[in-house]
Copies of this chain bind each other. A is one copy, B any other.
């Protein structure tokens, strides 16, 4: 089985307490692809400008990402300038956004891509996310990510879209903003009512919460000591999640837990380097090594109950 992702491919300038890097390969669909490619072939649907560096394209292609529907349009590539401050490495401060070719873009895919069963709508304009769904035939699993910008300016489109998807991924702030519930269990329940059968709330350094009508589970994050650049951690998480689920070919509590562990592990690598420094060179054996460490850290004991 294969996997399609719609989202942004960007040039990122990022400043963190660990330094500053310019013109890095970034964007929601790029980070997603770099993670999901470990499990399955990923078809990337996005647009870049004529200025997009050849080496970024080469990197994605070398990692097995299908770029048939990565359009190269006249104009400048989408750019994001962001900063993270020492006292809150979880929160990006956007310094500047240049939409460039994003302004004129509508997703297009090849005829042979219409039957790709698993789709992920990475963070993007919900109207364009809906447009991609119009292009595909009977998908098996649709995942969706969004962000506060769209919750604020395109809530009706986002709500319409939520009725069409199976799995919704949000960070804690987005979940709260969309539902107006402070408590994350309540927020998850409220999100479930908006449509998606499976709700995934990412809590950054505090881990992740999965909620459905049948089960709920919660895992801590991998204990990362040096967060260098968290940009793309959520997309990397989603890539691991959807990538593993595509490979597994089944969606149940067991495969979702496995997928959560893979996703958590991949996200931990992402934050340890600028951009894709770490994730671009990852191999599954390296991921598995860290997964075993993570399991050691988060597996509760087999209960021995005290006599009453």
Contact = CB atoms under 8 A, between A and B. Distances in A.
A262 B304 CA distance: 10
Describe A's contact surface by its main secondary structure: mixed
B299 A299 contact: yes
A62 interface: no
Contacts of A203: 206
A254 B284 CA distance: 30
Contact of A303 (B219, B285, B292): B292
A219 B220 contact: yes
Count of chain copies:
2
B303 A300 contact: no
Interface residues of A, number: 53
Interface string A247-258: 100000010011
Given A205-B184, A306-B284, A308-B284, A261 B219 contact: no
Given A295-B303, A305-B288, A185 B87 contact: no
Contact of A258 (B86, B185, B301): B301
B86 A297 contact: no
A257 B297 contact: no
A227 interface: yes
Interface centre among A88, A260, A306, A307 (most CB of B within 10 A): A306
Interface of A: 38-39, 86-89, 182-186, 203, 205-207, 209, 216-220, 223-227, 244, 247, 254, 257-258, 260-262, 283-285, 288, 291-292, 295-301, 303-308
